[in-house]
Every structure is written in C-alpha cells, then in structure tokens.
Amino acid sequence: MRKEIAAANWKMNITYPQAEALIDDILQQGHYLNSHRLVIFGVPFPYLKMAQDKIRFEDNYHIAAQNMHHERNGAFTGEISAEMLHAIGVEYVIIGHSERRIPFNETNEIIAKKIDLALEYEIKPIFCCGEPLEVRDEGKQNEFVQKQIEESLFHLSPSQFHGFVIAYEPIWAIGTGKTATDEQAQEMHAFIRTLIAEKYGQDIANSVSILYGGSIKSSNAKSIFSMHDVDGGLVGGASLIAADFGVVIDSLKKDPEV
Ligand code: 13P
C-alpha cells in the first residue's frame, strides 16, 4: 500500500513564532493519520529543529527541508548539505522544485546529484517535476516530464525507487489560483506511474506516491485527491493557514486501494 501524503511547502513565508503557532494549531486539530496517511511540514531551514521538536511525540507527522546542495561539502557559503540535514534527523527533503530549477539554474543533472546525496544520507526526497505553460499549450507536457524523471531518477536502483515520493507540479498552476483539472492531474499521474512501471515493474510503480501540487485549496483538495493516481498533495499557500491545511489533510483518501 502506498502512502497518501499531505505535504506543506511553506516556502519563504512566516516568522518563527507564526511557524510555532501554525504547527501547534494543526496538531490540535486531531487528524486521522496512520503509517499510510501522513503529514509532512516543509519548513525553512531555521525552523527545522523547532518543527521536529514539536512533532517528536506525534505519530505520522514528519518534517522536510525545502532544499539542499548538490555537493557533499566545501566552500559553498550559505548552502546546506545533506550531511547537515541528516545530522539533525531531517527525514525528507524537497528536491527540484520549479522555484529552484528556474531562478537557480538547477538542471536535471544537478537534481540527480541531490537525489543521490539525499538517499546516501537516508533522507527521502520529494522529487518535483512539472511543465511550464508554453509546453502545456503545445501539448508536449508528457515528453517534458518524462525527460525530467528519466534524467534525474532513472539511474536509481529498484530498491531505491520503492516507496519513492514524486510531486507533479505544473508551473502554470503554482501560486496562480489556476489548478489543474482533476482529469489533467490524473492523466499526468497515470502517465508517470506507467513510465515507472515500464522501467521498474508494476509493483514498484504502485508503491510510489505521486502528489499533485499547484493551487490546492480547501475547496478543491477532496476532488483532486479522489483521483486514482493522485496520492495527496504538495501545498503552498493553503498550508500557511491552519484551518485550510486541516481540510487538505482530511481530504486524503481514507483507504488507498493499493
Ligand atoms: P501553491 O499551493 O501556493 O500553488 O504552491 C504549490 C507549490 O509550489 C508547492 O510546492
């Protein structure tokens, strides 16, 4: 059975006290979670320890960093390494977000290096992919996402791919209020799962959680998460409001089919 995940990506928002209050408020909502239905808070680096301390005694809540550097260590002023995240017990890291790929020139090759380092340090990547609007307008979104996945992930071994987490985030839907339709999300998620099945086999493909990201709100989470190949979401704006993110968490499928 694959995991259904409500993942928050706070990006570069909210202050430390606001972050403390947000986590407290969400924990107090008392969500139904289990080992296949979980919440991940993707928080800014300075909040990682605080966030971890808050969830320490909570089952099925986890913390993610939002980025890490692709080199192991060295003279990279201002950067954070996989080893550093590992040393403080960070479990997940968001890798390849379009807000890193485009402004920071993160290529598929750089992202592949990050994936390898994260896995080496036992940090689970949340690998982001997704096409810009002009590619969608040309109808070339499948080829675009296929290249991102092949070039950054398909060197992994079958055991590394088992239970992997991918987030499909069409760039035109991020922060725009324009969500992909349920059918557009399902179509792409099914395409991604088929790609994985062709490379690694159906069992591994079925074990991969494919999250949707892009203008998820309390009002649309339930219908998009109900699609067969949508295993939850990576949520930006709506994850900053406890009541809204609470609804998103409760919109996860209760009993995943596989
Ligand atoms: P929004 O939910 O604000 O559109 O952001 C999505 C996203 O980029 C999550 O990583």
Could you tell me the CATH number of the domain that includes residue 93?
3.20.20.70
Does residue 9 sit within a domain?
A: yes
234: which 2 tokens? 């990576």
Does residue 256 sit within a domain?
A: no
Question: 48-54, long-range: CB within 8 Å, 24+ apart, which pairs?
Answer: 48/85, 48/88, 48/90, 49/88, 50/16, 50/19, 50/20, 51/19, 51/23, 52/88, 52/89, 52/90, 54/20, 54/23, 54/24, 54/27
Given this model, what pLDDT does residue 256 score?
A: 52
Print the domain residue range for 53: 4-250
Which regions in the chain score pLDDT beneath 70? Answer: 255-258
Does residue 206 sit within a domain?
A: yes
Looking at the structure of the chain, the number of domains it has is 1
Query: How far apart, in Å, are the Cα atoms of 215 and each of 56, 100, 180, 237, 238?
Result: 29, 18, 8, 7, 8
Given this model, what pLDDT does residue 255 score?
A: 67
Does residue 257 sit within a domain?
A: no
Does residue 36 sit within a domain?
A: yes
User: Is 99 among the catalytic positions?
Assistant: no
User: Is 134 among the catalytic positions?
Assistant: no
- Binning the chain into helix, strand and coil, the percentages to the nearest 5 are 45, 15, 40
Does residue 57 sit within a domain?
A: yes
> How many A from CA of 97 to the centre of ligand 1?
10
At 147, is the secondary structure helix, strand, or coil? helix
DSSP state of 34: B
Distance CA 111, CA 95 (A): 7
Residue nearest to atom 5 of ligand 1 (CA): 236
DSSP state of 131: -
> How many A from CA of 184 to the centre of ligand 1?
17
Instruction: Report which ligand 1 atom has the smallest distance to the Cα of 99.
Output: 8
Given this model, what pLDDT does residue 176 score?
A: 87
Does residue 209 sit within a domain?
A: yes
Does residue 45 sit within a domain?
A: yes
Given this model, what pLDDT does residue 216 score?
A: 96
